[in-house]
């Protein structure tokens, strides 16, 4: 019994040893639970003793009712109440819960330390309040894309032709063999729809994956006193989230702490004015809104489907049927070719009907087919049906159904490969537009440089400091205050002996690391010793941040600290501290010396940051507090730091590649002109002889103050724009576009959004980029590396080039087939290539050809030619030269076979027609090699790397052999002997030397057939 009692006591021991931090009601519940548990344990022991003694217990009514008094987690608040507080912005309901502190207590969240963050804690919160995900509309099924494919005009025309051909075929040749032509067209339609629907379905799946990746935002949270980054999907109710400029608010919540927080709620309310958030009047933060200014910590109260943003996003179905400009141009081209084919078919129909009814046609026995009233009505109908079938065949061969498929395959393939090359495509049109880019405006920090910053220089007064022990105590305290309290970053250290963890922007982390490791700064102690009164947050326009603080010891004095771009802070100072801590006046001579120090550090590619301070009486602070502005005149310069951010490995090579490809690289940065010039020279954007006095380097303010005419005149010469604001970047993009440039712009900040939208291609940074910048961009560079921008340029050119290759290949097939059938129909009254044969050429060659040419990878040659202009036609003079040469050769050979083939080879008409068909197909196989290179004579270069191309060529030849030798009835062919096959291959192989010779012919710059600009 004592053992049992001992076990029982062990079970309730954790309950009795309650943490002292529990609220009084919770303590009472736990004491009640412990008492009842103890009573029941004693009763159980007594019953066991009675049973052992052989006496049965006497049943009796219980004198008490057992209640489950164990309190449920978060029982004092539910998600419905939390949603009502924030969505309704109900201050009264918030006060009923004891304000923000009361809600935090109910959610078991420490305002400073956040939630516990253990696996069980997070799981419990997700189970109670839901996860931060929202229900997506069901993905579109394959059937949806099949139905969409049926809406295409080309498909509808083919179906109509198939129905006519099927009906006429059965009427003329009976059901057993008459279905071949019409049935083959239906099979072709089925295959086109299947391939197109499957490709679009797969592309839709890729977009869904990309959508998930792009929505997987990293969020800073405080858990168990430790600031850490987690996925937005892992945010739970009770989390303390850190917000800064450009962040998307990840969930609904309440403002805990922060300064100058302004939020853009236009995505939810439509109002463009920024809303100020504070704890006194408006502490409500709505999911999906963007931080426009300031920084803060928020308490998450609702996530996922319990937020307005979640409800809204769950109803939005991402449209993946975006049609790119190139697709639109190709659809127009396809339509134009189809109309031309229809016109030719109508002409053939009229000519053949006239020839028949005027008695100019003969049957197989050499007799006149139409002999007036002596001809049977049934014979007339059969002949007319045959003539209409020939016309339908011409329409079918004229429609290049492979073109839209080629674009879809090319874009889908390139999008997938670009993702592997660290570029996530948000808008398909950017794939092809990037190939036309003539200018790239790039940021410096993180794009050209590694964004791994470290303080390498420190100046006090006019002396460089190597040893922090030489700094006077008072001055050291001021430096530590200016670093610890004027920052959006944080320092975390689990124990006194463990390593520091720094969070914030790369610049903030570099300064915090330097102060903590070199100056022994204790950030937590400083935060406790001072009260922050007002903050002016850093942004890319002001290039500085400030804070006013009051010491807990001296309540009568307010300290103002400023930190920012060195020359901007220097201009605000009228005195400075020397190395010994004495304050000295700053006259023009002294100011000049400081400017030289700044320029010297900048010339060494260092980013210069200055710290300044001013002490003001409490009375003066109270007067200024009404204007919410910090003191920014007559400051005292504390010191200067130089931060090194090394250039990325390989960035110089990437810049040179772009410049060699005819693309201008312009660096637009907020750094001072000396730092900007040093980095630009190191990266190869500037030549060493291009100094600051040269027109290649300009400051944003100077560029802004140019007259419109001056800007237009000088914008092409500018290579570097320093000390620029987002407005300056936008202004440059507009000027370049007015001059006819196709402009790509990189950006990472919220204020870069207008320039990213204005540019032809907006490139945002995946690591340092804010959510606002990413939403405004077309492509996200996942590794923030300029080399990836150069790769995107190469892929853009590859997309455009692959589609041009296929257009040349496709149109050669169409022109040759159309001309052969037209000439034969007019002269002989019949077509040598049947509907089945032409569909085989059109479908298999086009589909497989599209796959082979669409998957060609980027080559160095693409970067050796100038960019494709904005108005450059899709079919260039070079393409016309190649296309017409091959088409004319094929027409000449095949018409020779048509009229002289029987006598040349000594064969009958059926074998001759098979020779024409076989030669035509093999010509396309050989011409597919020619299409690989539009300009280069060596069409085999790099072919070993494209296994898919070689595989498709092999498959095509095998299928052709099957078509000729085994599917005779279906394809209307005859078996060929080895000699015939050798002749066909020999004729087709002439395409290679012909292609080599043709490429020696120069082409005019004046556009050939300028009216054919699709």
Provide CB contacts within 8 A for 406, sequence distance 6+. 802, 803, 806, 807, 810, 846, 849, 850, 853, 854
Q: What does the block give as tokens for 901?
A: 């083939």
3-state secondary structure 227-266: EEEEEHHHCCCCCEEEECCCCECCCEEEEEEEEEEEEECH
List beta partners, residue 747: 764
CA torsion sign for 806, 812, 817, 822 is positive
Q: Judge whether 29 and 15 are in contact, CB under 8 Å.
A: no
* Residue 758 CB coordination number (10 Å): 19
- Residue 501 has a CB neighbour count (10 Å cut-off) of 14
Distance from the first to the final alpha carbon of the chain: 96
CA–CA separation, 887 and 822 (whole Å): 14
Q: What does the DSSP assignment read for 928-961?
A: HHHHT-SS-S-TTTTGGG-HHHHHHHHHHHHHHH
Told to judge if 443 belongs to the known catalytic residues of this protein, a careful annotator would answer yes
Q: Residue 880 and residue 369: Cα distance in Å, rounded? A: 42
Closest CA to 284 of 303, 256, 248, 314: 256
Give the active site residue among 443, 671, 748, 752.
443
The answer to whether residues 426 and 418 touch, using CB atoms and an 8 Å cutoff, is: no
What element of type H or E holds 319?
A: none
DSSP string for residues in 723-783: S--HHHHHHHHHHHHHTT--EEEEE-SGGGHHHHHHSSEEEEETTT--HHHHHH-SEEETT
Which tokens is 335 given?
């339509």
**164 C-beta neighbours (distance < 10 Å), count:** 19
Structure tokens at 115: 């939630």
Distance between CA atoms of residues 597 and 287, nearest Å = 46
Report the alpha-carbon distance of residue 833 to residue 852 in Å, rounded. Answer: 25
State the Cα–Cα distance between residues 186 and 191, nearest whole angstrom.
9
Q: Angle at CA 912, nearest 5°, toward 907 and 914?
A: 125
Active-site annotation, residues: 443
């Amino acid at each position: 019994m004592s053992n049992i009692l001992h076990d029982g006591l062990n079970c309730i021991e954790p309950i009795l040893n309650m943490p002292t931090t529990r609220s009084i009601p919770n303590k009472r519940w736990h004491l009640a639970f412990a008492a009842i548990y103890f009573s029941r344990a004693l009763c159980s022991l007594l019953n066991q003793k009675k049973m052992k003694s052989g006496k049965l217990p006497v049943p009796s009514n219980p004198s008490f009712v057992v209640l489950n008094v164990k309190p449920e987690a978060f029982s004092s608040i539910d998600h419905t109440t939390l949603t009502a507080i924030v969505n309704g912005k109900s201050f009264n309901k918030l006060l009923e819960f004891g304000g923000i502190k009361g809600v935090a207590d109910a959610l078991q969240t420490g305002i400073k330390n956040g939630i516990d963050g253990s696996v069980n804690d997070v799981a419990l919160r997700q189970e109670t309040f839901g996860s931060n995900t929202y229900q997506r509309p069901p993905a579109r099924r394959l059937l949806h894309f099949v139905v969409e494919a049926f809406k295409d005009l080309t498909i509808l025309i083919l179906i109509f032709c198939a129905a006519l051909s099927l009906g006429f075929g059965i009427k003329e040749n009976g059901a057993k063999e008459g279905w071949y032509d019409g049935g083959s067209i239906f099979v072709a339609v089925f295959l086109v729809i299947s391939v197109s629907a499957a490709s679009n379905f797969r592309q839709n799946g890729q977009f869904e994956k990309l959508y998930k990746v792009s929505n997987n935002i990293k969020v800073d949270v405080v858990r168990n006193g430790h600031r850490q980054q987690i996925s937005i999907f892992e945010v739970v109710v009770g989390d303390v989230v850190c917000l800064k400029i450009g962040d998307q608010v990840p969930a609904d919540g309440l403002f805990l702490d922060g300064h100058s927080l302004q939020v853009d709620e236009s995505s939810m309310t439509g109002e463009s004015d920024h809303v100020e958030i504070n704890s006194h009047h408006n502490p409500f933060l709505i999911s999906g809104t963007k931080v426009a200014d300031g920084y803060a910590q928020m308490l998450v109260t609702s996530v996922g489907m319990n937020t307005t943003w979640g409800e809204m996003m769950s109803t939005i179905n991402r449209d993946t049927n975006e049609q790119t400009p190139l697709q639109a141009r190709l659809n127009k081209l396809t339509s134009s070719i189809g109309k031309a084919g229809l016109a030719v078919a109508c002409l053939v129909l009229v000519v053949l009907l006239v020839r028949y009814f005027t008695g100019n046609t003969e049957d197989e026995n050499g007799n006149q087919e139409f002999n007036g009233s002596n001809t049977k009505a049934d014979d007339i109908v059969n002949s007319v049906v045959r003539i209409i079938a020939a016309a339908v065949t011409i329409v079918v061969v004229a429609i290049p159904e492979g073109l839209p498929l080629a674009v879809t395959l090319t874009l889908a393939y390139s999008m997938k490969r670009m993702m592997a090359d660290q570029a996530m495509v948000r808008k398909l049109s950017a794939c092809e537009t990037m190939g036309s880019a003539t200018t790239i405006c790039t940021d410096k920090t993180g794009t050209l440089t590694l964004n791994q910053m470290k303080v390498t220089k420190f100046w006090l007064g006019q002396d460089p400091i190597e040893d922090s022990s030489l700094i006077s105590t008072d001055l050291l305290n001021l430096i530590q205050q200016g670093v610890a309290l004027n920052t959006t970053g944080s320092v975390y250290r689990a124990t006194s002996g463990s390593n520091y963890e720094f969070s914030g922007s790369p610049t903030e982390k570099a300064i915090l690391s330097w102060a903590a490791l070199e100056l022994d700064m204790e950030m937590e102690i400083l935060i406790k010793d001072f009260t922050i009164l007002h903050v002016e947050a850093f942004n890319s326009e002001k290039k500085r941040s400030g804070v006013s603080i009051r010491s807990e010891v001296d309540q009568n004095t307010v300290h103002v600290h400023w930190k920012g771009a060195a020359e901007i802070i220097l201009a605000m100072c009228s005195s400075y501290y020397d190395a010994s801590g004495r304050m000295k006046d700053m006259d023009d001579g002294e100011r000049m010396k400081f400017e030289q120090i700044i320029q010297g550090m900048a010339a060494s590619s260092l980013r210069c940051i200055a710290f300044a301070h001013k002490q003001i009486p409490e009375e003066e602070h109270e007067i200024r507090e009404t204007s919410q502005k910090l003191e920014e005149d007559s400051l005292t310069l504390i010191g200067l730091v130089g931060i090194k951010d090394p250039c990325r490995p390989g960035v110089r090579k990437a810049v040179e590649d772009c410049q060699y490809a005819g693309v201008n690289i312009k660096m637009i940065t907020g750094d001072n002109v000396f730092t900007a010039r040093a980095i630009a020279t190191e990266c190869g954007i500037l030549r060493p002889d291009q100094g600051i006095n040269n027109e290649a380097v300009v400051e944003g303010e100077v560029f802004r103050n140019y007259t419109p005419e001056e800007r237009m005149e000088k914008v092409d010469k500018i290579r570097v724009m320093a000390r620029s604001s987002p407005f300056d970047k936008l202004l440059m993009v507009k000027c370049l576009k007015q001059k006819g440039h196709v402009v790509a712009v990189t950006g990472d900040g919220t204020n870069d959004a207008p320039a990213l939208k204005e540019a032809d291609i907006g490139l945002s940074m995946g690591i340092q980029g804010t959510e606002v910048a990413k939403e405004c961009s077309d492509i996200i560079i996942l590794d923030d590396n300029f080399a990836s921008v150069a790769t995107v340029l190469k892929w853009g050119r590859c997309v455009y080039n692959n589609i041009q290759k296929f257009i040349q290949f496709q149109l050669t097939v169409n022109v040759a087939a159309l001309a052969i059938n037209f000439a034969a129909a007019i002269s002989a009254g019949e077509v040598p290539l049947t509907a089945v044969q032409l569909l085989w050429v059109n479908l298999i060659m086009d589909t497989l050809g599209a796959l082979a040419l669409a998957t060609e990878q980027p080559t160095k040659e693409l970067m050796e030619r100038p960019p494709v202009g904005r108005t450059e036609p899709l079919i260039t003079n070079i393409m016309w030269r190649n296309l017409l040469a091959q088409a004319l050769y094929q027409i000449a050979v095949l018409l020779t076979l048509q009229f002289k083939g029987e006598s040349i080879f000594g064969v009958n008409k059926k074998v001759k027609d098979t020779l024409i068909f076989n030669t035509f197909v093999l010509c396309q196989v050989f011409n597919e090699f020619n299409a690989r290179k539009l300009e280069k004579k060596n069409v085999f270069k790099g072919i070993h790397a494209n296994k898919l191309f070689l595989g498709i060529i092999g498959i095509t030849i095998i299928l052709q052999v099957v078509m000729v030798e085994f599917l005779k009835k279906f394809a209307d062919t005859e078996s060929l002997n080895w000699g015939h096959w050798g002749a066909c291959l020999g004729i087709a192989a002439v395409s290679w030397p012909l292609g080599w010779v043709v490429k020696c012919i120069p082409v005019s710059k004046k556009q050939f057939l300028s009216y054919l600009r699709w």
